[in-house]
Amino acid sequence: MNVLQEIIPNVKNMKQLQYLVLARRASQIKEELRQRVRKPFKEVIDVSWGDPHKAGVKPLSFVQQVLAACLYPQLVNSDRLPVDVRQRAQSLLKGCDGGSVGSYTATRGISEIVHRVSEFITRRDGGAPSYPENIFISPGSQWALGNILNILVNSEASHRTGVLTPVPCYSISLMSIRGLGAVTVPYNLNEEQGWELQVEELHRALESAKGVCNPVALYVINPGNPTGYVQSRKSIQEVIQFVSEKRLFLLADEVYQDCVHGEHSEFVSYKRVLAEMGPPLSDTVELASFHSASKGFMGECGLRGGYVELVNLDLAVMKYIYKLFSTDACAPVLGQFALDLMMKPPQPGDPSYPLYSVETQHIRTTLVHNVKRVLEVVNNLPGFCCQPVKGVFAFPRLHLPPKAIQKAKEIGMQPDAFYCMRLLAEAGVIVSPGCDYGQKQGTHHIRFYIMTSEDTMEEVLRRLSSFHTQFMKDFS
């Protein structure tokens, strides 16, 4: 019991997500639908999480075929799959002890895959070198983030460790930081400027931490989650200058890098900008960059495959990180395979390339169409205002009537969570409330995922419009 008593205070810092209340209610509603209880909808549509397959996006055939052959190697010797699929499966299995996905791998991951991750990063960053010894494959990017935070957080210091975090911010990241006993030091993204990260706000946030905690790191999400904002090269340069001056460790969550769209929008990695800024910054700024097979067009969330690349870390620290990653033996092998397939997809001339190209282009075209439709519909609803979307999430601001805010307070709910609960109950749509991500006091938002099929997005928008119109009437 004493051991638990020592752990529980940190767990208490992990605020319960309002989404979990919504998820429980959604399960009840689904059961009621199965029992033929009459509802104004026939099914529940969940666009609350960044899970493409759950949202109706078809898995990529090449990925599914290679994984199938790896799980059932007899397919490698059959003609039921394209020849490049079989060759890829054979190559991946050679990296496994016993030629089986059921074997453990090296702590960093299968050596050949780690090298391909390194080659991918070098290509992505215009030739800036990436070294395999600085890369760890992990069971998803959040797991890797937790391990790096574990190194940064000093539980024995007189002042608690602080991490500068964006507002709004991906809720699971906030839970991870607080769960380790660290303090989140919020810096506000500028909603009126399309959720821009402004370095002046970083200075304000750092100043606010004086006497409260000892800030050691800055956490950035680019492209943004939940905001969908994409940082410019100039913005990234300013952030790098800031962390260098303030001697902060830079944590760059870049898992949505493949999903950038729109005019004047381009993903540029922190690693690339740091390398191009040259010495002394490129030799001294400590950076951890995270990516994942869960997001982007692959969307293999359930396979749990991600990586972290570490830049400019002391060799002694790297040894501790290696020990920490060793405690989990290795990342899931199928997740490592998915990561490999994302790093090196079919190329022109390969038998699988035509279908792969058609499937990925369809996802890209659908995403662009959905973004246009979301902005058209949401910004024409009274009480809604959505900034331009450059990623896969919409995070519109919700101007709720005073009566709705009062009603939410009476039943002990945050106003936007109350709105989301009513949307679920009356329209069968699950979105996430802004309160789960942090938001400026007095503002309310909802977040929903837009990488769905066009039909699903149209149905979500139809239900949202109908519900919202009635909701505003009821509480006007």
CA distance 413 to 405: 9
Domain 104-343 belongs to what topology? Aspartate Aminotransferase; domain 2 (3.40.640)
Residues pairing with 435 in the sheet:
none
Nearest alpha-carbon partner for 91 in 99, 79, 82 = 99
CA dihedral defined by 402, 405, 406, 408, rounded to 10 degrees?
160
Q: Tell me which H or E stretch contains 6.
A: helix 2-12
Nearest alpha-carbon partner for 91 in 354, 296, 344 = 344
Res 414: pLDDT: 95
CA distance 362 to 200: 40
Whether a cis peptide bond, with omega within 30° of 0, leads into 332 is: no
CA distance 251 to 238: 15
Which CATH architecture fits 2-56+356-474?
Alpha-Beta Complex (3.90)
- What burial class does residue 38 get, using C-beta atoms within 10 Å of its C-beta: 0-12 exposed, 13-18 middle, 19+ buried? exposed
CA distance 34 to 27: 11
Pairing outcome for strands 45-46 and 429-430:
parallel
Res 11: pLDDT: 52
CA distance 386 to 397: 6
pTM score: 0.92
User: Number of C-alpha atoms within 13 angstroms, CB side, residue 213?
Assistant: 22
- 3-state secondary structure (DSSP) of residue 435: helix
Q: Would you give the DSSP letter of residue 370?
A: H
Res 15: pLDDT: 60
Task: At 65, list the tokens.
Answer: 């075929």
Task: At 281, list the tokens.
Answer: 């910054």
Cα three-residue angle 185-150-316, rounded to 5 degrees: 120
What is the mean pLDDT of each successive set of 10 residues along the chain, which is 476 residues long?
A: 50 66 93 94 93 90 96 92 96 93 91 97 96 94 90 84 95 89 95 95 96 95 93 96 98 93 87 97 97 88 94 93 86 94 96 97 94 96 94 95 96 95 97 94 95 95 98 94
Whether a cis peptide bond, with omega within 30° of 0, leads into 280 is: yes
Amino acid in position 151? I
Res 1: pLDDT: 46
Instruction: Give me the residue spans of the domains in the chain.
Output: 2-56+356-474, 104-343
Res 10: pLDDT: 56
Place of tokens 């890098």: 257
Nearest alpha-carbon partner for 215 in 176, 189, 240, 247 = 247
- 3-state secondary structure (DSSP) of residue 115: helix
CA 428 to chain centre: 25
Tens digits of per-residue pLDDT, 395-450? 999 999 999 999 999 999 999 999 999 999 999 999 999 999 999 999 999 999 99
Task: At 317, list the tokens.
Answer: 């620290």
Place of tokens 């002694």: 316
Nearest alpha-carbon partner for 223 in 232, 234, 214, 215 = 232
